[in-house]
Amino acid sequence: MSFFDSVLDASVVLSFDRSGFRRHAKRFVSADMQVSMQGKTALVTGANSGIGFSVSKALAALGATVHLACRDEGRGQRALEAIRAELPSADVHLQKLDVSLLADVRRFADTLPGPVDVLVNNAGVLPDTMTRTREGHEVTFATNVLGPHALTSALMPRLVVAKGRVITIASGGMLTQKLNLHALQGQVAKFDGVVAYAQTKRAEVILSEQWATKQAEVTFSTMHPGWADTPAVRSSLPTFYSMTKSILRTPEQGADTAVWLAVAPRLAGKSGLFWFDRAPVSTHPLGFTKEAPEDREKLWALVETACATLKA
């Protein structure tokens, strides 16, 4: 990376925006994406719009059998029809799944047919008020952390057999957060949706690193998409969107690294890394965000205990 690039990346804005993507794309290796995913099966959560939809369409275009896991069947059906309209030969299927509910994750994992080569944990929420699921978990934590962890665990035997890949969509916002197990669960005096979201994204990255040490047969990756123009950004961060809409990345640009992580042959086995624009980056550019080893272990124990009913 040149000194000029380093200066622009340090600005954050000129790295996370669309100009940053175009600049970073100059180093991409085109051969990485010249692959066939025929015979491979991918599952993408939150696939009805934004980055999840773009990842699903890109994997389908490469020949993968793609399962669109969506909470809202109507939106999922529209996404399915949109992909089929653009890619008539695409092998895509709609699956109903609410990842915020462990019982639904269990039902889904028990009924999903066939192997899983690629799991993309993309579904996420950023509510502005604290609510709890009917299972008693704060919604952000349940959707962004517990559900994806439970789903990954439930599908692990299939992923191991396939020597598969698990990609989790994180966020650059987590780079400002140090893991706080109380805040992560909504145990705060005043709820802040942006902080809660960033805490869950920090937790996702830590859990992926831990998975990488426990399951060598599967490649685990996290990535952040930069600032992309998605329905979730428009609805959850309206002020941010109004200030940055002229420089936001397209959903396809935001999805690019996730697709690359799912398909590039040379990435098999490069597990536990955090990626941005097809390059591994530090999870702690700000030193004060480094969590204690014991807190990492407490996080794993917390989600395993919460998900224990899934394994019963």
Q: Which of 16, 21, 108, 197 is catalytic?
A: 197
The DSSP annotation for the chain comes to --HHHHHHHHTSHHHHSHHHHHHHGGG--GGGG----TT-EEEEESTTSHHHHHHHHHHHHTT-EEEEEES-HHHHHHHHHHHHHH-TT-EEEEEE--TT-HHHHHHHHHH--S--SEEEE------SS--B-TTS-BHHHIIIIIHHHHHHHHHHHHHHHHT-EEEEE--GGGGG----HHHHTT-SSS--HHHHHHHHHHHHHHHHHHHHHH-TTSEEEEE---SB--HHHHHH-HHHHHHHTTTPBPHHHHHHHHHHHHH-GGGTT--SEEEETTEE--S-SSGGGPPPHHHHHHHHHHHHHHTHHHH-
**CA torsion angle for 220, 116, 90, 125 (degrees, to 10)?**
-60
Query: Cβ contacts of residue 19 below 8 Å, gap of 6+?
Result: 247
The answer to whether residue 241 is catalytic is no
Residues with catalytic roles: 197
